Amino acid sequence: MKEAASSYSAQDVEAEVRQYWDDEDVYRRVKTLREGATRFFFVDGPPYTTGHIHLGTAWNKIIKDAVLRRERMRGFDVVDRAGYDMHGLPIEVRVEHELGFTSKKDIEDYGIAEFVERCKTFALDHKDIMSEQFRQLGVWLDFEDPYQTVSEEFIESAWWVLQRAEEKGLLERGHRVVNWCPRCETAIADSEVEYWDEADPSIFVKFPISGRDGEFLVIWTTTPWTLPANVGVAVDETFTYARVKAVRDGAEEILWIAGDLVESVLRKGRYQDYTVLETHPGSDLVGITYESPLAAAVPAQKEIAHRVVAAGFVEMENTGMVHIAPGHGWDDFLLGIAEGLEVFCPVGGDGRFTADAGIFEGLAVRDANEEVLGALDEYLLAKETIVHRYGHCWRCKMPIIYRATEQWFIAIPAIKEEMLGEIARVAWYPEWAGSARFHDFVADARDWCISRQRYWGTPIPVWVCDACDARRVFGTIAELEDASGAVLEDPHRPYVDEITVPCACGGTMRRVEDIFDVWFDSANASWATVGFPRRREEFEALWPADFITEGQDQTRGWFYSQLGASTIAFDRAPYRSVLMHGFALDAEGRKMSKSFGNVVSPEEVVAKFGVDVLRLYLLSANAPWDDLKFNWESVTTVNRAVNILWNVYRFPLPYMILDGFAPECGENGRWEAGYVLANHASMPVEDRWILSRISSLAAAVEKDLQEYQLHRATRGLITCILEDISRWYVQLVRPRMWLEEDAPEKTSAYETMYYVMRRLVQLLAPFTPHITEAIYRNLRTDADPASVHMLDWTAGDGCLIDDALERAMDTVRAFDDAVATARQAGRRKLRWPVAQTVVVTGDEEVAGAIEGLRALCEARANSRRVEVVRDRWERIGWRAEPVMRGIGPSFGKEGPTVKALIEQADGNLLKAALEEKGEATVGEGDAVYTITAAHVTFEEQLPADVFAAPMSGNATVYVDVALDDDLEAEGYAREVIRRLQEMRRQLDLRVEDFITVDVSVDDARVAALLAGDWQDFIMQEVRASSISLRASGGAAGATAADLRKEWDVEGITMVMAVSARQ
């Protein structure tokens, strides 16, 4: 054992520990230690390899690390392979940016091979940067060999699943409306769409009804550019629609508008007057045909048979009639299929109109809005601007469009019931994450569009014959190489695109150009992480995962994609238990974002307070599943707790070292808590108490962790350090630390303190791995495991738990508080002894606790005697209070005299007389009055020097602060001692050093009080080899002293001189 630094420096401690872990390869050794034990299969949700980690990413990995460190301590051989998500559009966009590209054409001109190579380099570089950042957070995952979605092995696992989907008939190719980014020129998933407010035109348009001149259907839209693709109008069959004659500037026209909306629509169109001619249910309108108002501008529109159809999604808003363009809307598309409407989509992948769009050809769709409005001419009934939420590409932030395209889908609805059944079998923390949130999400799930028209991703392993259109899905690279006769060096584009396969029909099969949605990559993590399908043993032994944990955003992300892929492949969920955690927000509960400037980086916190404080803060601040509102003040508070842990740890070290203390060990030389387990029955009561507390704490921590109540576990630990160890046990045990002789009480104190620290670091190790390692390494015996992280987990020593003692000690602490309050009221400092302290209570448990722990109470209260009185303490007197309401009627104008007499009377005598005879007399001579209970009430009266304070638990504490010579002498002696100790400290003396002392007191009486026994007491307490204590004015004190100070002690000047003994 070495002494510890006098103040905790996170930087020093953590750097040293990290150095030790590196030098000794501790992480590997911990893993080796558990090899061969029961496996615990954890799967890391792969962060995307772009940019740096933020507080949320840090929180995520810290939760994982805390859980896994504990599982290792519990004896499991933990599968802890880190993972990275490395394909996809975000990286493509970053690389495009670096190269100054603006379109897919730029990429193709540059060369797909070169482009993909740059994407790969980007992903690999950022993977390494992030691994280093995670390591800096003390995260022990396997970053040496992480699974990477770009690896051949991983790609193969995705292929294998797609082949299963094909076998089950779940893989579909179809013409669908998808979210389309016109800049990236690809379909993007619903989950890749970000919404924010955008200003758009809000227009009301007249569609001329066929064969009825001057009669129109009125529709509303915010996307004028979709009008060239209009093929129908939807109505609700049950709504009432009005046929209205409307007048504007003298001209009349007939308009169809939903009845309730006529007024508002016509006002927007600035019509001066109108008459409702007739009303009809929507069902009557179905089948009406109309012409496109853009027929002149878009020739293709002339060929389209426009008609009114019924739909369930129409709402009583705007005009109650919905413009239908199946090529540009999801609902429109489904309705179009159902109604046999044409799917017309005159927009290309670049977001520009094609030749089918007539005069609009070549225009980017959103830019074409103005042109369309112009072409509408008199058909435009009204135009406003609306600000509404509109979707944008998550990477390039361009507004998305909806576009009907050829895509690949997984038919999720076909396996939805199975997925819901699996959700119910998984253990969710919290429960509602699965039963409510995830369940509802999956219940609404639609087909999953898995294809993207991009370059950097897992290629979709589908080959289609250019002659007969037959298709083949390859599940492994070997299978593809077999069929093609070619060797695939790299499964990425463009290499894989070069592979052709002969078709049975004699034609040639070529790969479809698409790549997978990145979510389809990470969906395979649970089997790819153990090398499936190439290697099967691990998979069969381990899968599905025992535990995963990710943020609530992954409900629609990784929790979902994994469940989907796993249901396709194995008909079951890929995880047994899931902890869903919250989001890291700023102090105001707002999302951290660069544009708000409210981002707090993990590095910032680490630089100020260290990794352990960051970890303990993140884990204790709130429940894992609640959003975390980052708060610097709370971080400071946690920092304080960690500092106190350090202080508590270092407090006994100098004494232990001085005494050459070594904890009692087993025959193998390891510490096994042998001393306390064997001797606890005979140990001092405060030792037994703290041993019980630590054991109870361990049991509580265990229970909390079983439910992933990480915040409760960590808060329990922090509270124990602060309340039980620092504020109580250390205070109680302190005197025993400097007992000179080899006393059994001292051994007991050392063994207890040692036990407390050993158990504490064991329980804290998963959460604050550095400081616990530093403490453990200093405390461990040579035969003990080298690292705290090699220890076995503990749920506490049940045999040390003594509930009754814990309750009794709670009572003593309440007593301690009450004494302090009473002393404060009596203005008697704790340093000054008092003669008597009395606890008045009718509560036998309180009485028993005080009496059972009387010596402790006396020491804490600095009281010569502590007594319990069951009913009434005889020293509490009664003060008589006159009752004027009774005195007035009885004594008339003598009332004030009686009042004064009662106030002066001895309340105790008065009360006794009244209780005995029912009446009493006050006054003397001629003025004697007889009073009864009607004239007086009694209040408690404390003797002059007694002060009271209520104590929780039906008790009151009374402290008699009166001084006699002896008490006063001790008080002054303690005042002198405290100041001499302060001087020792200023001289920076070691605990074992002796001093010589000279004290001159500017008060002869006090100097006399201190002479004799008290002088010896002072010598002993301050470790003085000689002392000269006298009244000042006599011979001058020694002139030479290491330190001389003049003190004001309770108004008396004392000059003290201290020298270290040579």
Partner RNA sequence: GGGCCCGUAGCAUAGCUGGUGGUGCACCCGGCUGAUAACCGGGAGGUCGUGCGUUCGAAUCGCAUCGGGCCCA
**Residues designated catalytic:** 46, 85, 519, 554, 558, 591, 594
Burial class (CB in 10 A: 0-12, 13-18, 19+), 151: middle
Options 51, 312, 485, 589; binder of RNA; rule CB under 7 A:
589
Give the nearer residue to RNA in terms of CB position, either 572 or 829.
Answer: 829
Site for RNA in 974-1033 (CB under 7 A): 974, 978, 981-982, 984-985, 991-992, 1021-1023
Site for RNA in 726-755 (CB under 7 A): 726-727, 730-731, 734, 738
* 591 forms part of the interface with RNA (CB under 7 A): yes
- Buried-exposed string 348-364: b where 16+ CB fall within 10 A, e elsewhere: bbebbbbebbbbbeebe
Give the nearer residue to RNA in terms of CB position, either 601 or 622.
Answer: 622
Options 222, 405, 458, 552; binder of RNA; rule CB under 7 A:
552
Options 103, 824, 908, 937; binder of RNA; rule CB under 7 A:
824
Closest CA to 239 of 277, 282, 288, 285: 282
Instruction: Cite the beta strand spans of 796-847 per DSSP E.
Output: 834-841
- How many CB atoms sit inside 10 A of residue 798's CB? 10
* 621 forms part of the interface with RNA (CB under 7 A): yes
Q: Binding-site residue total for RNA (CB under 7 A)?
A: 76
Site for RNA in 410-439 (CB under 7 A): 432-433, 436-437
- How many CB atoms sit inside 10 A of residue 988's CB? 8
**Strand, helix or coil for residue 464:** strand
Burial class (CB in 10 A: 0-12, 13-18, 19+), 702: middle
Instruction: Cite the beta strand spans of 1002-1042 per DSSP E.
Output: 1024-1031
Q: For residue 688, give the amino acid letter.
A: R
User: Is the Cβ–Cβ distance between 323 and 330 less than 8 Å?
Assistant: no
Residue window 184-213: x/- pattern of binding to RNA, with contact defined by CB under 7 A: ------xx-x-x------------------
Options 267, 389, 535, 870; binder of RNA; rule CB under 7 A:
389
Query: Which stretch of DSSP H or E encloses residue 702?
Result: helix 685-706
Give the nearer residue to RNA in terms of CB position, either 577 or 634.
Answer: 634
Give the nearer residue to RNA in terms of CB position, either 101 or 1017.
Answer: 1017
CB of 482: closest distance to RNA in angstroms? 39
User: Is the Cβ–Cβ distance between 219 and 204 less than 8 Å?
Assistant: yes
Burial class (CB in 10 A: 0-12, 13-18, 19+), 964: exposed
> Regarding beta strands 142-148 and 81-84, do their DSSP bridges make them parallel or antiparallel, or are they unpaired?
parallel
> Regarding beta strands 232-235 and 322-324, do their DSSP bridges make them parallel or antiparallel, or are they unpaired?
antiparallel
Site for RNA in 759-788 (CB under 7 A): none
**Distance (Å, rounded) from C-alpha 409 to C-alpha 520?**
11
Give the nearer residue to RNA in terms of CB position, either 634 or 908.
Answer: 634
* 860 forms part of the interface with RNA (CB under 7 A): no
Give the nearer residue to RNA in terms of CB position, either 380 or 523.
Answer: 523
Cis peptide bond prior to 201, omega within 30° of 0: no
Give the nearer residue to RNA in terms of CB position, either 40 or 729.
Answer: 729
**Distance (Å, rounded) from C-alpha 1025 to C-alpha 960?**
36
Options 101, 495, 583, 929; binder of RNA; rule CB under 7 A:
583
Give the nearer residue to RNA in terms of CB position, either 472 or 979.
Answer: 979
* 590 forms part of the interface with RNA (CB under 7 A): yes
Options 101, 441, 891, 938; binder of RNA; rule CB under 7 A:
441
* 623 forms part of the interface with RNA (CB under 7 A): yes
* 440 forms part of the interface with RNA (CB under 7 A): yes
- Buried-exposed string 587-614: b where 16+ CB fall within 10 A, e elsewhere: eeeeebeeeeeebbebbebbeebbbbbb
Give the nearer residue to RNA in terms of CB position, either 318 or 555.
Answer: 555
* 693 forms part of the interface with RNA (CB under 7 A): no
User: Is the Cβ–Cβ distance between 692 and 805 less than 8 Å?
Assistant: yes
CB of 251: closest distance to RNA in angstroms? 37
**Distance (Å, rounded) from C-alpha 836 to C-alpha 815?**
14
Q: Which range of residues in 220-228, 497-505, 636-644, 794-802 is near RNA by CB under 7 A?
A: 636-644
Closest CA to 977 of 1041, 1023, 1042: 1023
* 650 forms part of the interface with RNA (CB under 7 A): yes
* 643 forms part of the interface with RNA (CB under 7 A): yes
The residues, any chain, with a CB within 8 Å of residue 367's CB and separated by 6 or more, are none
CB of 351: closest distance to RNA in angstroms? 20
* 956 forms part of the interface with RNA (CB under 7 A): no
* 810 forms part of the interface with RNA (CB under 7 A): no
* 549 forms part of the interface with RNA (CB under 7 A): no
Residue window 3-32: x/- pattern of binding to RNA, with contact defined by CB under 7 A: ---xx-------------------------
The residues, any chain, with a CB within 8 Å of residue 369's CB and separated by 6 or more, are 200, 201, 223, 224, 225
Q: Which range of residues in 77-85, 159-167, 635-643, 883-891 is near RNA by CB under 7 A?
A: 635-643
Options 130, 648, 698, 749; binder of RNA; rule CB under 7 A:
648
Q: Which range of residues in 14-22, 673-681, 828-836, 939-947 is near RNA by CB under 7 A?
A: 828-836
Options 801, 830, 869, 942; binder of RNA; rule CB under 7 A:
830
